[in-house]
Amino acid sequence: MESAKQAFNYVSETVQGAASGASKEANKEVAKDGNVPIGTRATAAKDALSDKFEESGHDSKAEAHKKVAKA
């Protein structure tokens, strides 16, 4: 039962990590776009950094759940 829970948590964290990664990439594109106002670009750059931290956190949690599920 615990392995199934850990497997579910692994999938959940993997999906959340992928969503954060997609958001990060979208924000990076906005930050690089010279046709966007500077304030919007700065906010997008800040959001991309935040998304990167979230992505890393979810990826780390997913790996931990994967290891526990295999044990």
CA–CA distance, 45 with 67 (Å, rounded to integer) = 33
Q: Which residue type is seen at 71?
A: A
Output the CA–CA distances (angstroms, integers) from residue 44 to 31, 32, 67, in the order listed.
5, 9, 34
Whether 70 has a pLDDT exceeding 90, the answer reads no
Task: Provide the residue count of the chain.
Answer: 71
pTM for this entry: 0.85
pLDDT of residue 2: 80
Average pLDDT over residues 3-12: 91
pLDDT at 10: 94
